[in-house]
Structure 1
Amino acid sequence: MRLLALLLFPFLLAAQDNLCEVSGSVVNALTGEPIRHAQVTLRRIDTAPGATSSVATDSSGNFAATLEPGTYRISADHTGFIPAQLGARGPSKPSPPLVLTAGRKTTGQRINLYPQGVISGRIVDEDGEPVPNVDVQVSRLQYMAGRKQLSRSNSRMTNDLGEYRIFGLSPGRYYLNAVYRSDPTLAGEGQYVSTYYPRTPDPAAAAPLEIVPGSQLGNIDVTLVRIRTVTVKGRVISESGGGDIHMILSASNPLGAANENGRGAAVLPDGGFEFRNVIPGSYQLIAIQSAPGKAYSSRIPLQVGAGNIEGVVLTLHAPLNIAGEIKVEGETTENLSRTRIGLQPFDPGNIVVGPMPDLALKPDRTFLLPDLSAEHYRIVVNNLPDGFYVKSIRSAEVNVQLAGLDLTAGASSPLEIVLSPNAGALTGTVVDPRTQKPVTGGTVVLVPQDKERRTRESFYRTASTDLGGQYTFKNLIPGDYKAFCWDDVPYGSWMDPDFMTSQESRGTAISIPERTPQSLQLTLLTEQ
């Protein structure tokens, strides 16, 4: 037995030499005080699937772990704090990975946790009486296809005293609204409606609440707004006959208020439907039909005023089949078997029912998009070979690459998608002007300068810088761009004309020709 241990000893030493150690501390970012019993997670990201391990900090806020060599992301979490990653520039911010080398000890790694934000208050009626069981939501503005939309971050129900307390909030600007569930039997009477702080049913008029690390915003009270609601009645006509039909009334709110995303109504055997307690405003009226193995939809816009509406008629079109083919500009022997054709809603906020195809090409480079709802779509071409880009998409000689495939009026002509093998390319490095060092994990954005292309997200390109501050773009559509790399900016804000008004002059112009790779060195754009 002793001889066996002696024989194994060199191998045990070699195994230990192949491991690495990492240690550090977790502290309160505001006070510098150590945080004991914090959970530290170490996730390997250079293998798939990546191994994950966790350790807890001791009474002094310190942690240590022995790991296989590799590239890791290290994060920490503790009750009352916002989870954060090692090396992040702030709460909920990305961070560069940590590379651990065999046989080496990496020490002094400090993870800063910021205290959570809290918003609390009461929800009352016009007489100041508490209202229980109200869904109090906090939302933040985000960008979807270049449009600002409210996205719910957290919510809590009021108790019997009308009180709420929403915790775990990261720093940022929030909008609070109280969602009251109205009584559908009281149509035409004054109804409490979803009310934004301080007291408005219009999200565009809501007052923002600023949360900084450790904020405790109390007495954020909301008095519910009562509005006289109306009834909407109508009839749906189905072109395809059988199948269950359901109606949805979806608010066309430019901010995409979470509580107004949609409400449903049943359809009677004669096609009749009724919505009660409808707040005046702009809506999309949507009919959805379900049959075995199929579901599809149609819609019309609807403007609701101060009075009841009757006689609305919506025709539910039968599902459509759209054929198409792909052509390649010039001669090529490139294999397109991995290329796929798909559809997405033209308006990202729309509810579209039915298949959203993602199909491979047939050997002759044709395709068929089956059983489509009569809706408005954006055509997506994925998995192109390197060096290729989509040059045009046409239906009956009309370029639908920008305008989208609009099927709301019925059938469409076959699609012709033209690919070019002459895509552009761009590489470069981003440097932080404050330190003159390469920027790791920076987001580089190419903004098209063609006015029409700036309205479509697919014409923008983004890339992240690596550990050496380098970025790479392949398969670019040739044309004129401006390149940006911001210090900290919400994703998609570069599609917002209001945001770009102050940023346009900070970009670096670059013209991308066909086939000839370009190089561009950028400076990180910090806050002005």
Structure 2
Amino acid sequence: MTLRLAVCFLSLLCAADAQPAQKSGKEESKTASVEGVVVNALTKEPIRRAEISVIARKPGQQMGAGPAGSAVTDAEGKFRVTELEEGSYLITIRRTGFVSPRGGSLSSALNLQLKAGQELKGLKYALTPQAVISGRVLDDEGEPVQNANVMSMIQRSVRGKRLWMPSGPGAQTNDKGEFRLTNVPAGKYVLTVQLWQPPAAVEGRPGQAAMGYVTSYYPGVTDIAQATPVETTAGSESSGFDISLKKVPVFKIRGRALNAEGQPIKDFFAAVVPREQLSYGATGRMIQRREDGSFEIANVPSGSWVLQVGTGRGGPMSSTEQQSASTVVEVNGQDVDGVEVRVRPPATIQGNVLIEAAPEEQKNILSTFMVSLVPDGPSFTMGNQPSRVQPDGSFAIKSNTSGRYLFNAYSSSATALYLASVRVGNQEYLGKPVDLSAGAAGPVKIIFRGDGGRITGSIELPSEDKPPSNTLVVLIPADPELRNSFMGRSAHPVDQNGGFSFDNVRPGEYYVAAASGAQYNVTEEVEQEKEFESKAVKVRVTAGGSGTVQLEPIVVAER
């Protein structure tokens, strides 16, 4: 499997202390430049052909926007990027064979504040070599298993819940059952194996359950809590991790997919996922349609499952017109027959987006907004597509799937606004899920305002130190419901001087903390640290107000 390019970097080792020279009025309009070196974090040797991107951090700019400047390191690991306008920038680095910090998005790269005409020199970045994990997948008789999907899983906090999440894309086994996981950061992992098309279960004797393969974990268990962790170090290649698939008693779920009138659906897709899903990315056991509306899902072990049926042949999210419905199925040591899932027409939810207390230019951007429905937690959803807001602020969004959802609205042009309120009927649902199981809810009123507050500050470090490049300042609502919702937290990287700012902050109480560490999601993990209570600062943001804080970094440890 080819090595992936790792985006971002691990740590800023040093930065220039030079201040921009005094410029005349004419020279003030000159562009800025940055230069530095990229080295191997283990050997300290320069890294050649590392790709550097300098991306402008403009309010409302989408992640896909092109870089303001770029360069490739030379044989000495040096780079220089010129023609940069005054402003805030993010540096990202990628090089085959080196990994990014977990969660390596633009928010974990170094933030640079540049003045007109400034020449920022002496930047030094260290990239860590990838780790590799290899082994084999074997069946219960010791034979190699081809086309099994192997992933390394890591446990993380997500919206207040501890979930096992893939640390990378995984790898498929070859004809010898061999797998090779590359681009793995140093850390502890659980190896999991899934068979997308498991062989047919072996039928037992009369009165005995069939035996079939299910998701397994290294070294050969079916309960993730009993798995043996695999630990890697930077640049290491760990081999010999053979995973044995286990057969367990499995059963069948049989039933029919019906439309709202009780007629069989000819084109449909069905799947089951664990009701208490402990990880993202599990796809369950799936079957395609049968024209008489009947289905049979095999290889289902005992447990509580969510059976979901969607119209169409292509599987989840294959069509904007797809509809789906779900029901809970309990499998208790025997086949389950007679399950009926009735798929109803999509519910249309109508509402309006309003903009208040904002300049006129911000009030005229309603048609740039999109409204979406966000599942409340891990979900196997089908077909809920965002809706464009009309120039008068009205929108109509279809809910093709029953369940609990949060309303969200967003626009890349809303550079000076914050989401202030989401009202469904007469109740406030900002950060709260709405139950759409009974059909359409509403009317919905989503309000944005332009009188948000501002929080600025800096990191307290000894004068000779510089902030690590993976330091993020995290803004966490004190309100538990907002804290655990998808919109609850925001994070910004510190600049080369340890400074940071949050603009257009919704009025309310917040905790502000500086989190440092190569974690997948330090914005969630920082609250688990003992130092959080002593080093996080509680602030109250008022409409149009501003405040300044100084923070001590909290190192987020591995768990």
TM-score, normalised to structure 2, is 0.75
Per-residue CA distance 1:301-326 (angstroms, 9 max, x = gap): 33322211112122212111111234
Structural mapping, 1:120-269, within 5 Å: 120-147=134-161, 148-159=163-174, 161-180=176-195, 181-184=197-200, 186=202, 188-239=209-260, 244-256=267-279, 258=281, 260-269=282-291
Aligned-partner residue type, residue 165 of structure 2: L
Aligned-partner residue type, residue 293 of structure 2: G
CA distance in structure 1 between the partners assigned to 2:363 and 2:389 by the alignment: 9
Paired residue secondary structure (2:487):
helix
CA distance in structure 1 between the partners assigned to 2:91 and 2:360 by the alignment: 42
CA distance in structure 2 between the partners assigned to 1:150 and 1:21 by the alignment: 36
Deviation at 1:288, TM superposition (A): 1.0
CA distance in structure 2 between the partners assigned to 1:466 and 1:251 by the alignment: 43
CA contact under 8 A between 2:190 and 2:217: conserved in structure 1?
A: yes
Paired residue secondary structure (2:168):
strand
CA contact under 8 A between 1:319 and 1:374: conserved in structure 2?
A: no
CA distance in structure 2 between the partners assigned to 1:18 and 1:390 by the alignment: 35
Paired residue secondary structure (2:240):
coil
Partner of 2:364: 337
After superposition, the Cα gap between the structure-2 partners of 1:207 and 1:501, relative to the gap in structure 1 and judged at 3 Å, is: farther
Instruction: Find out whether 1:82 has 2:98 as its counterpart.
Output: yes
Per-residue CA distance 1:167-195 (angstroms, 9 max, x = gap): 44221222112334422364652112221
Deviation at 1:440, TM superposition (A): 6.1
After superposition, the Cα gap between the structure-2 partners of 1:501 and 1:315, relative to the gap in structure 1 and judged at 3 Å, is: farther
Corresponding residue to 2:128 among 103, 107, 114? 114
CA contact under 8 A between 2:90 and 2:110: conserved in structure 1?
A: no
Per-residue CA distance 1:473-527 (angstroms, 9 max, x = gap): 2222222211101122635454469826663443111112233222222222236
Per-residue CA distance 1:44-69 (angstroms, 9 max, x = gap): 43595545443552xxxx25567644
Instruction: Find out whether 1:470 has 2:499 as its counterpart.
Output: yes
Instruction: Find out whether 1:313 has 2:340 as its counterpart.
Output: yes
Paired residue secondary structure (1:368):
strand
CA contact under 8 A between 1:342 and 1:380: conserved in structure 2?
A: yes
Paired residue secondary structure (2:430):
helix
CA distance in structure 2 between the partners assigned to 1:437 and 1:56 by the alignment: 25
Judge which range, 514-523 or 141-150, deviates more: 141-150
The runs of 5 or more residues in structure 2 that have no matched partner are 1-29, 57-64, 204-208, 314-318
Partner of 2:51: 41
CA contact under 8 A between 1:251 and 1:261: conserved in structure 2?
A: no
Deviation at 1:342, TM superposition (A): 1.1
Deviation at 1:293, TM superposition (A): 6.7
Partner of 2:395: 367
After superposition, the Cα gap between the structure-2 partners of 1:381 and 1:105, relative to the gap in structure 1 and judged at 3 Å, is: closer
CA contact under 8 A between 2:431 and 2:488: conserved in structure 1?
A: no
Paired residue secondary structure (1:475):
strand
Per-residue CA distance 1:233-279 (angstroms, 9 max, x = gap): 11222117777222122234533264x32332233344221101112
Partner of 1:482: 511
CA distance in structure 1 between the partners assigned to 2:229 and 2:83 by the alignment: 46
CA distance in structure 2 between the partners assigned to 1:18 and 1:423 by the alignment: 31
User: In angstroms, what is the RMSD of aligned CA positions?
Assistant: 4.0
Paired residue secondary structure (1:453):
helix
Partner of 2:25: none
Partner of 1:406: 435
CA contact under 8 A between 1:298 and 1:408: conserved in structure 2?
A: no
Of structures 1 and 2, the one scoring higher in RCO (CA 8 A, sep 6+) is: 2
Equivalenced residue count is 495
**Rg larger in structure:** 1
CA contact under 8 A between 2:260 and 2:343: conserved in structure 1?
A: yes
CA distance in structure 2 between the partners assigned to 1:381 and 1:391 by the alignment: 11
CA distance in structure 1 between the partners assigned to 2:90 and 2:439 by the alignment: 52
Partner of 2:72: 54
Partner of 2:456: 427
After superposition, the Cα gap between the structure-2 partners of 1:34 and 1:127, relative to the gap in structure 1 and judged at 3 Å, is: same
CA distance in structure 2 between the partners assigned to 1:326 and 1:154 by the alignment: 38
CA contact under 8 A between 1:200 and 1:206: conserved in structure 2?
A: yes
Deviation at 1:372, TM superposition (A): 4.1
Aligned-partner residue type, residue 317 of structure 1: R
Paired residue secondary structure (1:204):
helix
CA contact under 8 A between 1:173 and 1:210: conserved in structure 2?
A: yes
Deviation at 1:232, TM superposition (A): 0.3
CA distance in structure 2 between the partners assigned to 1:19 and 1:403 by the alignment: 45
Corresponding residue to 2:328 among 281, 287, 301? 301
CA contact under 8 A between 1:143 and 1:491: conserved in structure 2?
A: no
Paired residue secondary structure (2:225):
helix
Deviation at 1:379, TM superposition (A): 0.7
Aligned-partner residue type, residue 45 of structure 1: I
Partner of 2:60: none
Paired residue secondary structure (1:294):
coil
Partner of 1:394: 423
Deviation at 1:113, TM superposition (A): 4.6
CA distance in structure 2 between the partners assigned to 1:286 and 1:461 by the alignment: 33
Deviation at 1:77, TM superposition (A): 3.1
CA contact under 8 A between 2:358 and 2:417: conserved in structure 1?
A: no
Paired residue secondary structure (2:441):
coil
Aligned-partner residue type, residue 203 of structure 1: I
Identity %: 23
CA contact under 8 A between 2:453 and 2:543: conserved in structure 1?
A: yes
CA distance in structure 2 between the partners assigned to 1:279 and 1:273 by the alignment: 17
After superposition, the Cα gap between the structure-2 partners of 1:498 and 1:272, relative to the gap in structure 1 and judged at 3 Å, is: farther
CA distance in structure 2 between the partners assigned to 1:82 and 1:331 by the alignment: 45
CA distance in structure 1 between the partners assigned to 2:289 and 2:517 by the alignment: 49
Partner of 1:6: none
CA distance in structure 2 between the partners assigned to 1:410 and 1:277 by the alignment: 33
Partner of 1:3: none
CA distance in structure 2 between the partners assigned to 1:434 and 1:197 by the alignment: 47
Per-residue CA distance 1:16-53 (angstroms, 9 max, x = gap): x9998967574x43344566xx4232334359554544
Deviation at 1:295, TM superposition (A): 1.6
Partner of 2:352: 325
Corresponding residue to 2:301 among 263, 272, 279? 279
Corresponding residue to 1:354 among 380, 383, 405? 383
After superposition, the Cα gap between the structure-2 partners of 1:491 and 1:177, relative to the gap in structure 1 and judged at 3 Å, is: closer
CA distance in structure 2 between the partners assigned to 1:445 and 1:462 by the alignment: 4
CA contact under 8 A between 2:54 and 2:69: conserved in structure 1?
A: yes
After superposition, the Cα gap between the structure-2 partners of 1:477 and 1:113, relative to the gap in structure 1 and judged at 3 Å, is: closer
